[in-house]
Amino acid sequence: MPEFRNIAIIAHVDHGKTTLVDALLQQSGTYEEHQQIETRVMDSHDQEKERGITIYAKNTSYQYKNCKVNIIDTPGHADFGSEVERVLRMIDSVILVVDSYEGPMPQTKFVLSKSLALGLNPIVVINKVDKPSARCDWVINELFDLFVKLDATDEQLDFPICYTIATEGKAGNESDNITENIQPLFELIMQQVSPAKTADEAPLKMQVTNLAYDNFLGRMAIGRIYQGTVNKNDRVTVIKPDGTKKPAKISEVLVSLGLARVKVPTAYSGDVVIIAGISDIYVGDTIVFDAKESPMPSINIDEPTLKMAFMVNSSPFAGKEGKLLTSRQIRERLERELETNIGMSMDFSDPECFIVCGRGELHLAVLVESMRREGFELQIGTPQVIYQFENNKRLEPIERVSISLPSEFAGNVIAEMGKRKGDMLNLQEHNGSNMMEYFIPTRGLLGFKSQFTTLTKGEGILTSVFEKYEPYKGDIEHREVGSLICSESGTAMAFSLWKLQERGPLFIDPAIPVYEGMIIGEHLKGSDLNVNPTKNKKLTNVRASGKDDALNLVPPRKLGLEEAIDYIGDDEFVEVTPSNIRLRKKYLKESERRQNNR
């Protein structure tokens, strides 16, 4: 019988998970010699390639010594933690990748706690040991302290360690004895990861933990077979988490090998497989051969902490750039997202305004960006925190924030975190860099990341993860600047923008169509200001003495989707189309805004 080992690779953002998977696949002989393989091959989604982060959990495998090793590459960003939570049940061990300088970060703690609670024994990989600033002994001590805080068992505390340079495909059992290949890690996986338990004679039972789509096979379910075998053309029963049962037929059985999905006649217990033929399968469903079997425990996911309103675009430019505009089309797309993105929840009670709840701003922004690329046109409101109530007390989500920055910028960041109700937990200095740790309300982080980039001149790194709910901390001032609001519809003129740039940074170029109520820049004095960017210079046939002033325009500050979401206030929207991202007031006319303020 075939032998299987199932592992997930977990780590904080940019600690090298996906690069390590590249090295494992390349050196295991998974690829043919003539194949040209990109770096970070598992990041196949367009947004993953552009952002340089993993967003969706994906599985692959390699063959080693007559054993098939299934690997699940997981996201490192806290906003996509639901991707990690649902796949941990499929595996027998985890590889915890940690940067040789940064050590364990907030997301490391979040994912590791879930793994330890399931009784998994992690393998620790200290990556990037070739860094001049590497401090492996310090990282191991910090990891041991973290394991203790997370109530690890004695067996889990005795974690094996491998040292790697993933970008070069090198590994070693000691930090000063790195081999020219990744063979030590291959051997460590074989020694430390127990073969998957098999029960081929028992009736089939598997749980769906992920979904995929194929143009020919349609909707496909991905999961681990816990017992039994599955064959092409088998008739099975799908049990929903609520207990309802439905018969189905399997049209194809596939397994992953490297980047390919290979059709097989039979798949065995212990393997991670892909099943086609069940059109209405969802994450969490149990597939069984015997309809009398009970479903597997439902997949529990942490609750969302932020919500955002999705609406039909109501600006004067509505319908000019997108193909999918109506509330029905937007709702159908959001309902499709719910089928696979179990970290989200949605409220469709208002037919004109859909409330989408997610783990963080990036979680929501990825969805909006995907819709935009698919041809949707919509407008979105500012992110709002989801409160909980206990004994008539309002509780709000608190995040654990980790900050790394040059020491010269520390004072400004500490002052700003204090304004946003942040409580410092830890401050360390090493080689001219400061490492800080804070507890801060989620509200305090809204709109802060772009400001943090400015305060640290792009040299700071800020990461956060949800920690707990605490009593409401009081009001927080999010924005100290106002908006420059267009008072006329027309085309923006260079002459007007030249005069207006004295008021604050602009968001638009000359010759751009504008409409009344559109936000075209920041007003540094703090209040909103109505301006007319469509006014041009009056031309006469009388010669002026001297020469005209040159129109020296400062390049505008172009806001991406995340920066726009960060910027807007409670009375503002982001208009999202396939071609443009615009900011606008909720009420476009000045008279309506004045009336609403009363």
**Same domain, residue pair 526 and 446:** no
From 369, 385, 401, the end of a domain falls on: 385
Question: Is 60 exceeded by the pLDDT of residue 49?
Answer: no
Range in 69-73, 104-108, 490-494, 559-563 with the lowest mean pLDDT: 104-108
For Cα atoms 48, 52, 53, give the angle at the middle one, nearest 5 degrees.
Answer: 65
**Same domain, residue pair 377 and 423:** no
pLDDT of residue 166: 86
In a domain, 299, yes or no: no
Percentage of the chain modeled with pLDDT above 90: 12
> Is 17 flagged in the annotation as binding?
yes
Q: What is the mean pLDDT of residues 375-386?
A: 91
470 strand-pairing partners: 396
CA–CA separation, 556 vs 116, rounded Å? 49
Question: Is 70 exceeded by the pLDDT of residue 549?
Answer: no
DSSP-assigned states of every residue in 182-240: SHHHHHHHHHHSPPPP--TTSPPEEEEEEEEEETTTEEEEEEEEEES-EETT-EEEEE-
Phi, psi angle pair for 253, to nearest 5°: -120, 130
Question: Is 90 exceeded by the pLDDT of residue 479?
Answer: no
**Same domain, residue pair 180 and 122:** yes
Question: Is 50 exceeded by the pLDDT of residue 72?
Answer: yes
CA–CA separation, 46 vs 201, rounded Å? 42
229 vs 34 pLDDT, higher one: 229
> Is 391 flagged in the annotation as binding?
no
- pLDDT category at 544 given cuts 50, 70, 90 is low
> Is 547 flagged in the annotation as binding?
no
In a domain, 78, yes or no: yes
Question: Is 60 exceeded by the pLDDT of residue 43?
Answer: no
What does pLDDT average to over the chain?
83
**Same domain, residue pair 535 and 551:** yes
Task: Map residue 41 onto helix, strand or coil.
Answer: coil
- pLDDT category at 78 given cuts 50, 70, 90 is low
**Same domain, residue pair 186 and 221:** no
Among 65, 146, 158, 163, smallest CA distance to 111 is for 146
Phi, psi angle pair for 393, to nearest 5°: -105, 140
In a domain, 197, yes or no: no
Question: Is 50 exceeded by the pLDDT of residue 33?
Answer: no
From 288, 316, 346, the end of a domain falls on: 288
191 vs 465 pLDDT, higher one: 191
pLDDT digits (tens, 9 = 90+) for 520-533: 998 888 788 899 99
The one-letter amino acid code at 177 reads: N
CA–CA separation, 293 vs 531, rounded Å? 68
pLDDT of residue 270: 86
**Same domain, residue pair 239 and 363:** no
**Same domain, residue pair 140 and 222:** no
> Is 127 flagged in the annotation as binding?
yes
- pLDDT category at 448 given cuts 50, 70, 90 is confident
Q: What CATH number is attached to the domain comprising 267?
A: 2.40.30.10
CA atoms within 13 A of residue 285's CA, in its CB half-sphere = 26
CA–CA separation, 532 vs 304, rounded Å? 41
In a domain, 298, yes or no: no
The whole model's pTM is what? 0.78
pLDDT digits (tens, 9 = 90+) for 321-348: 888 889 999 999 998 888 777 778 899 9
In a domain, 462, yes or no: yes
Percentage of the chain modeled with pLDDT above 70: 91
**Same domain, residue pair 148 and 56:** yes
Are 508 and 520 a contacting pair, CB within 8 Å?
A: yes
pLDDT digits (tens, 9 = 90+) for 348-377: 988 889 999 988 888 888 899 989 999 999
In a domain, 58, yes or no: yes
From 136, 170, 192, the end of a domain falls on: 192
Q: What is the mean pLDDT of residues 125-148?
A: 88
- CB proximity list for 28: less than 8 A, separation 6 or greater: 62, 63, 64, 186
> Is 12 flagged in the annotation as binding?
no
Question: Is 70 exceeded by the pLDDT of residue 540?
Answer: no
**Same domain, residue pair 97 and 245:** no
- pLDDT category at 408 given cuts 50, 70, 90 is confident
**Same domain, residue pair 278 and 311:** no
**Same domain, residue pair 172 and 210:** no
In a domain, 114, yes or no: yes
Domain that holds residue 280: 205-288
> Is 18 flagged in the annotation as binding?
yes
Question: Is 70 exceeded by the pLDDT of residue 317?
Answer: yes
Q: What is the mean pLDDT of residues 487-511?
A: 89
Q: What CATH number is attached to the domain comprising 342?
A: 3.30.70.870
Range in 42-46, 67-71, 218-222, 238-242 with the lowest mean pLDDT: 42-46
CA–CA separation, 518 vs 425, rounded Å? 42
Tell me how far CA of residue 398 lies from CA of 442, 445, 463, in angstroms: 6, 10, 13
Question: Is 80 exceeded by the pLDDT of residue 46?
Answer: no
In a domain, 477, yes or no: no
Positive or negative torsion for Cα 111, 113, 116, 121: positive
Tell me how far CA of residue 253 lies from CA of 46, 256, 339, 431, in angstroms: 27, 11, 21, 54
Among 265, 158, 275, 187, smallest CA distance to 225 is for 275
> Is 19 flagged in the annotation as binding?
yes
Domain count, the chain: 5
pLDDT of residue 112: 82
68 strand-pairing partners: 4, 63
**Same domain, residue pair 431 and 514:** no
pLDDT of residue 34: 42
Are 111 and 74 a contacting pair, CB within 8 Å?
A: yes
